[in-house]
A = this chain, B = another copy of it.
Amino acid sequence: MEYFNVFSGFGEVPGVPVGAVFKDRASLVEHRVHINTQWGIIGTRDRGAESVVVSGGYEDDKDYGDLIIYTGHGGRDQDTGKQVDHQSFDARGNAALVTSHVTGVPVRVIRGADAKRKNSHAPSYGYRYDGLFQVESFWQGPGQSGFRVCCYRLVKVSESTAGWDVVTDVASLPSGNVEPGRTRVTRSQIRRARALSLAVKELHDYRCQICDARLTIKGLGYAQGAHIRPVGQPHSGTDTPDNLLCLCPNCHVLFDNGEIVVNDDLTIVSSQPNRGLLRTSHDHVINLDHLRYHRDLFR
């Protein structure tokens, strides 16, 4: 298959404002907003995704407006749309959305009319371009059907980010910008108990519980507080000591993306060289249910 023939470009489409409504999928293609009438996700693993269509048809999608829990493709019955098998991150579109998460390049979101009127954020007619969303995280979980589906947390980007052209010819780097401008960005964020995170880091003397690294800044320890079961929709992890780890930034990224998981006996499972056991403390006990929840997102 030649996917590169179906690449239109990242970011906003010139002349298409947020809120523009199109009568059908063919019209989306014609205006280069979503360039395939069948696929829900336009993109490839190499480049990432450029656009997704949120339709009323998928039982596991959840639409909160500026936050969408979007599910991938595959495993659905062609006639009924029901989930009849597991989904895989190897599938083209599912892999593309993982790449979008890693690169940080946002995707265009188009919402389709919801015939069943269950989604109050869907348009009453046709397909509406609803702006750019960042793929904040991905995981796998059981859908309503019981089969494992690929999930993505899409969060609306307020910033106007026209011109996300991704360069593939690395022999000539883009020239960049000698005087980069500023922009105002608004987003919703979890109100964390920073005192708690500080106390956990202090208790571990800012040493990573996974790799034992201890970064310092002017002699002060530096680490990050990482939630095991993610806080926020749809995981609703708690901001409590038994759900927090003291990690270095590298292990934090790997843990949040499932490249590191921890077994019930606290052995660390990682693509990196053997890590041994998660270092814990009598004064800071980890809830094994949270470790299990985290493992299950990425198994």
Contacts and interface: CB of A to CB of B under 8 A. Distances in A.
A192 B180 contact: yes
**What is the oligomeric copy number?**
2
Most buried by B among A104, A186, A195: A195
Contacts of A236: 179
B216 A178 contact: no
Interface stretch (A27-35, A121-129, A164-172): A164-172
A177 to B, nearest CB: 4
Contacts of A185: 186-189
A103 B260 CA distance: 25
B215 A254 contact: yes
B249 A173 contact: no
Contacts of A271: 216
A225 B177 CA distance: 14
A199 interface: yes
A18 interface: no
B180 A231 contact: yes
A118 to B, nearest CB: 24
A198 B238 contact: no
